[in-house]
Structure 1
Amino acid sequence: MIDSHCHLDFDIFDTSRPLLIEAMVRAGVDHCVVPGVAAAAWEDLLCVVNDFKQCSSALGLHPYFIADHREQDLQRLDQLLGEHENIVAVGEIGLDATLMAGFASEQQYYFEQQLVLAKRHNLPVIIHARGCFDQVAATIRRSHFNQGGIVHAFTGSLQQGVKLAELGFKLGIGGAVTHPRARKLRQTVAALAPDCIALETDSPDMRPAFVHHDSPNMPTLLPLIAAVVAEIRGTSATAIAAQSDANILSALPRLQRVAG
């Protein structure tokens, strides 16, 4: 299995990373995509990916850290994308409705500029779109961005999911769908076309229902998330895992070469 979104570079894993990756592989998760969130963390992320063949990198400027981003970060991102052929996407980029107060124009600017860089380097994108699925879709259309990618942590409506799929995107499905109260999301996941779903953990965040709130989420839990999605869709976990892997490889073409 492939975890399409896992922050294994975060410092919470610094003392346990080798053992965690061994456990991940034993659990049946052979590979994970590690997205970047801020320029200050890119070099460490690239070192992690260089040290562990089970990981692939994406680089981006996350809207959550918008106050830290600078114009020169875009220039550095452009440089790194040109230097590292094994980077599989630009991301994590996008918009976050919970952070719009005072930063709406800055979020929009960095999102659009990173779409430009992704297009320049012929790369897909990994998008963060909390509460902004329609605005993200409108920005993609307006930017004439056609490289596709994955919309991480999708919690939108079926209509929003279909629109994003029509724009060339897979939809990241993770821990949120495991919570019994997420009825609307579960209904949406049940109705999505099979070629839309990209399983993810967003480790160490987005804890599934079966993880204690004091414990970090782990990539080892991806098979359990697959089992929940399979139950919702009335199929087998094996079938869901295989379809998700195919979808992720389709969305991130370089991953086929990098992951081997």
Structure 2
Amino acid sequence: MVFYKSEEEIAIIRESAQILGKAHGVVASNIKEGITTLHLDKLAEEFIRDSGGIPSFKGYNGFPFSLCISVNETVVHGFPGSYIIKDGDIVSVDCGVKFKGYHSDSAYTHGIGEIDDATFSLLERTKESLYKGIEKAIVGNRMGDVANAIQQHVEKDGFTVVRELVGHGIGKNLHEAPEVPNYGKKGQGMKLQAGLVIAIEPMVNLGTRNIVQENDGWTIRTRDRKPSAHFEHTVVVRKDKAEILTTWDYIEKALK
């Protein structure tokens, strides 16, 4: 069942998203060569809780951390741990915040130091594809229009879209209907209506689209062990232009 949000509910999600954006900024200020991924997780959790929020991911279906941190060939759902970030790594940081009963969700993939040209292009195209999808998240379009815009943008440069993992509705629950795929055909899927809040999150691989799940039951990596990028915003469908509720402003300030 799809839950459309009132303006009051959207306002709370926007508040949640501000805490989330600032938590991402804390991570961006500290992410560098020589830092463990677990250190970043602890910083984010502390900030979220000090801000009156709850980390959405911690305890979700048993997930033990506040962040999903996915390095290089890890697509999503990577566990923070003792891994020490190195020059040339790409590091996806995915985070959710629950505030006043409502969730927000966003992800950003960081390039650490000098990354090779192909991987840099992967990051740029994946980020661009997210905004191509968001442009289509307007009243009267269909979910396939969002999905197709993402797929077309990355595939024209030879990158591949992960198909087994999708974006999602979001609100009182972290994951709600509908699913938001990153591939599809224009004009297909559910018709988008005002007040639909969705997390759009392209997951794009440098090599083939095939993925495998590690033995921990969570971590998803590329089968060919080539890099994968992941960017995500929580948005609300509007009449003429989707509203992006989450923000990367604090990331961008930290990276200046």
**TM norm structure 2:** 0.29
Higher strand share: 2
Which structure has more relative contact order (CA 8 Å, sep 6+)? It is 2
**TM norm structure 1:** 0.29
Higher helix share: 1
